[in-house]
Amino acid sequence: MDTSLYNEIVNVIKNFNGLTRNCAKKLQETFPNIDTNTLYSILNIQYQRKMRCTYGKFQNNRNRYWDLFQKALRNNEKSGILVKLSEMFDIAPCLMAKLILQKYFDDHQDLDKNNEKKEGSVNINTYLKNTYMIPDSDLAYEVFLCTVFDNLYSPLVDAMRLSLGQQYEVRLQKEAIKLGLAFRGEEYLRKYGYDKTPDLKLDVPIVIDGFVINWIEGKAVFADEDVHSDYMKNQYLSYWNRFGPGLVIYWFGYLKTIVETGDKRFIVRDYMPTNIKKIWSIQNGNHMPEETTVKKTDNNNSD
């Protein structure tokens, strides 16, 4: 993706006030020709960065949010109070729910025989995932609504994100099999003691656009410079040190500026290339690469 188009998308996100689910709809309307997964991934990245920068301020205002919540309850306002507060203060609903839960449990923590609060912190995430465990029924329902209206920080979204990642891992394996590649998966490599493993470690290297590939890693995200840099430091460089050069696939696209000209460690694509050349082992007595080409249309099957 060109930098100019990326900046247009980011500007829409930064200038939008309200819930991220509504921002996602705005992005789809503004950029109808861009894949929905790509837009959502960019929104996810930008909003999480924003929340990391401002969450400390929200923590300091926790008592204020609690007072507003209690006032709304006393006034018998309609359900969805916490969702409205999150929209008012531009904070993710589930993060608002966490702040309110922290305040609630701080005020209702059990007292010991000396009328002092017992030590030990409450795992807020447990109550966010299991709202029926919250003793206060009104608060429980309000927190539940936060998990419904939050499309970035909800436990349900976390499960969907994990499922999406697994779906694209399966897709990568299927496309590799269609191309006739011999490979080992993550489970096999971990079994033999590798702590950091790519999605696929090729038994026989291949050549793509003149670049030798020993491993393939797929990510179901859009990659800008910061995302790519984090993955490179935490994963790709380890793969390169152990296995040599490889291929990185960002299924939802990437910013063109992340590609370094002449990089010999890995190449970056947003699809599984089909114009590959297989390098047969010397033991087979064939030193010439065999070129394999598969129609691009086969690459669109995600199942």
Number of domains in the chain: 2
- Structural domain for 288, as ranges: 163-300
Provide the pLDDT confidence category of residue 192 given band limits of 50, 70 and 90: low
Q: Percent of the chain scored above 90 by pLDDT?
A: 55
Same domain, 197 and 293: yes
d(CA 274, CA 294) in angstroms, rounded, equals 5
- CA diameter of the chain: 83
* Three-state SS at 120: coil
pLDDT tens-digit readout, 15-31: 888 888 899 999 999 99
**Domain ends where: 155, 190, 206?**
155
d(CA 9, CA 119) in angstroms, rounded, equals 47
Same domain, 142 and 168: no
DSSP state of 303: -
Neighbours of 108 (CB within 10 A): 12
What pLDDT was estimated at residue 297?
39
Same domain, 8 and 151: yes
CA angle 207, 211, 212 (to 5 degrees): 55
**Domain ends where: 108, 138, 155?**
155
CA-nearest of 68, 52, 45 to 225 is 45
Same domain, 25 and 132: yes
Same domain, 7 and 108: yes
**Domain ends where: 89, 121, 155?**
155
pLDDT tens-digit readout, 105-154: 988 765 434 434 444 457 888 999 999 999 999 999 999 999 999 988 88
Q: What is the dihedral of CA 199, 203, 207, 212, to 10 degrees?
A: 80
Same domain, 120 and 14: yes
Q: Half-sphere exposure of 300 toward its Cβ, with a 13 Å CA cutoff?
A: 3
DSSP state of 111: B
d(CA 125, CA 107) in angstroms, rounded, equals 18
Same domain, 220 and 246: yes
pLDDT tens-digit readout, 212-265: 999 999 999 999 999 999 999 999 999 999 899 999 999 999 999 998 877 889
* Three-state SS at 133: helix
Same domain, 276 and 145: no
What pLDDT was estimated at residue 121?
59
Provide the mean pLDDT of the chain.
Answer: 84
Same domain, 23 and 150: yes
